[in-house]
Amino acid sequence: MTAVVPISWYLVLAAILFSTGVASFLIKRNLITVFMSIELMLNAVNLTFVAFAHMWHQVSGQIFVFFVMVVAAAESAVGLAIIIAIFRTRQTLNVDQVNLLKL
């Protein structure tokens, strides 16, 4: 028994993931949560790329996903280093309290 999942289900799931990421990015005050929200939005975009690549039998969508994952990995490394530096100097990760660039 092979069940074919329609592409609209993938797109709806990606839209829900992206909306959740945007909402938590705008609502949450913790830098780690904001950082994870950005990653959630990137994964939603990746799901859309893979769904369309599967639908059109093209490899280009999966190549885009690879590049997005590489950028996300680099962003994670730099972002976590910045978050650790902010926490060491300010002793907090609240967005409202770290809004100044001056240390």
pLDDT in tens, 39-98: 999 999 999 999 999 999 999 989 999 999 999 999 999 999 999 998 998 888 888 887
Q: Which pLDDT belongs to residue 3?
A: 77
The answer, yes or no, to whether residue 102 has pLDDT greater than 70, is no
Give the closest residue to 30 by CA, choosing from 86, 102, 103. 86
Q: How many CB atoms lie within 10 A of CB 59?
A: 9
Three-state SS for 31? helix
User: Which pLDDT score, from 0 to 100, does residue 74 have?
Assistant: 93
DSSP for 40-94, please give it.
HHHHHHHHHHHHHHHHHT-SHHHHHHHHHHHHHHHHHHHHHHHHHHHHHHHS--B
